[in-house]
Amino acid sequence: MSRFLPLLVGAIVLAFWEVFVRVLQVPKFVLPPPSLIADALVANLPQLLDALRQTLEMTLAAFAASFIGGLALAILFVQSRLIERSLLPYAVVLQVTPIVAIAPLIVIWVGVDHVERAVFILATIVAFFPILSNASFGLRSVDPGLADLFRLYRATGWQRLWLLQLPSALPALLAGARISAGLALIGAVVAEFVAGSGEATGLAWRIVESGNRLEIPRMFAALLLLSLTGLALNAAIAGIEHRLLRRWHVSHGESS
């Protein structure tokens, strides 16, 4: 039943939206009814799906880069306090700097003819910090008794990392991955808005194009695809998380 409750709430909201717009005769360029949005989605589906594919490719590439880079840097931080104290402030600076502020600079550095590279870099920057912070926290959240046991058996640093620290960090790392995936999508869309300038062909530019032409149903259709993509990314990582943790972690109702 819990799986159908979100669908029921969504159906109620859409029905109220449809009735509200038609009864009050709200202009479609202000707020189109769901029926018009559905028509626009069907009519423009090939173009919107092609744009979504390009945005999704950038999102997945940025997420993969941020995951690998964030985990690698977190391992370095855990192994060396000196490295952490030297580099952590710069990671925080990247996290708190608005993407719209650095987007023009990134575009200049990579060249205006390589907008895709700029989008990839900006989306990676946005998605990087949750992986770094969660992985660092997880790698340090090792059971003291298990750590003493590994020292007692004179485990090497590699054995401690691979057999103790990484498994202990897995729940926090996967939680960071869920946040990072959503931020990668947001970063890709915002980067397309800021850095695209008409050269980008992702879904964000289709939204801008639709807004400029007052094709508001088409714009809502593109927003719907973005929302569904975000839900799909979250559900995919949640499924991976459940599959990896269900047999032993208390957060999934089972323990070893």
Q: Is 218 part of any domain?
A: yes
pLDDT at 199: 54
pLDDT tens profile 146-199 = 888 888 888 887 888 888 888 888 999 999 999 999 999 998 898 888 765 555
Q: Is 215 part of any domain?
A: yes
The domain that holds 121 is classified in CATH as 1.10.3720.10
Mean model confidence pLDDT for the chain: 86
Q: Which amino acid is at 222?
A: A
pLDDT at 98: 84
Q: Is 19 part of any domain?
A: no
Q: Is 212 part of any domain?
A: yes
pLDDT-derived band at 254 (thresholds 50, 70, 90) equals very low
Question: How many residues does the structure list for the chain?
Answer: 256
- pLDDT exceeds cutoff 80 at 249: no
pLDDT at 96: 86
- Chain-centroid distance, C-alpha 17: 28
pLDDT-derived band at 135 (thresholds 50, 70, 90) equals very high
pLDDT at 250: 57
Inter-CA distances, 8 with 206, 220, 235, Å:
30, 21, 19
pLDDT-derived band at 133 (thresholds 50, 70, 90) equals very high
The sign of the dihedral angle between the CA atoms of 171, 175, 181, 184 is negative
For the whole model, what pTM was predicted? Answer: 0.86
pLDDT at 256: 38
Nearest to 125, CA basis, from 88, 89, 97: 97
Q: Is 225 part of any domain?
A: yes
52 exposure class (CB count in 10 Å sphere: 0-12, 13-18, 19+)? buried
pLDDT at 248: 66
pLDDT at 19: 93
Q: Is 16 part of any domain?
A: no
Residue-number span of the structural domain to which 63 is assigned: 28-252
Q: Is 22 part of any domain?
A: no
Per-residue pLDDT averaged across 202-223, rounded?
A: 88
pLDDT tens profile 10-55 = 899 999 999 999 898 888 888 899 999 999 999 999 999 999 999 9
Q: Is 21 part of any domain?
A: no
Per-residue pLDDT averaged across 60-74, rounded?
A: 94
Nearest to 238, CA basis, from 163, 182, 169, 154: 182
pLDDT at 200: 58
Q: State how many domains the chain has.
A: 1
